Amino acid sequence: MENGYSLLDSTLYAMVVHLGSHKRRIAAGLERLGLHLGQEIYLAQLWREDGLCQGRLAGCAKVSAANVTQVLRGLERQGLVVRRRDEADGRVQRIWLTDEGRALEGPVTEVWRNAEADWLAGLTPEQREAISRLL
């Protein structure tokens, strides 16, 4: 323990442990829909703004371009998105949802909504408000 600090006593560790069960619940719900945890974030960006270029999608998801490429390959194999060259600039690839990808918005949102409601149910209104302000 350096300078009396132990990660096991940290606020961040407590949050990770507390949120771990909710993360597992989300992962299980996504798995039932045929998705892996993390894929839904890319889909959610496209539900908000379909046709994003790959670089912008990476920026919105706060990941590297290499990471977005790997995830998009999986989403393409699953038939949830397609990549097409931009009509105005052939160097740019845009990502478009398929009908199957669009159809997952409701079920995926429900998984997240239920996990969030479960997590928030254990907090007072003041705690909820404090968390919203902090984030």
**Average pLDDT along the chain:** 91
Could you state, in order of their start, the residue ranges of all structural domains in the chain?
1-35+104-135, 37-103
Sheet holding 81-85: strands in order across?
A: 52-53, 93-97, 81-85
User: What per-residue confidence (pLDDT) applies to 4?
Assistant: 81
The b/e string for 108-133 (b: 16+ C-beta within 10 A; e otherwise) is: beebbeebeeebeeeeeeeeeeeeee
Cβ 72 vs Cβ 21: under 8 Å: no
User: What per-residue confidence (pLDDT) applies to 1?
Assistant: 55
- In the chain, the N- to C-terminal Cα span, in Å, equals 29
Report the residue count for the chain.
135
pTM of the predicted model, to two decimals? 0.85
Classify residue 5 by its DSSP letter.
B
The CATH code for residues 37-103 is 1.10.10.10
pLDDT digits (tens, 9 = 90+) for 19-41: 888 899 999 999 999 999 999 99
Cβ 48 vs Cβ 102: under 8 Å: no
pLDDT digits (tens, 9 = 90+) for 49-72: 999 999 899 999 888 888 899 999
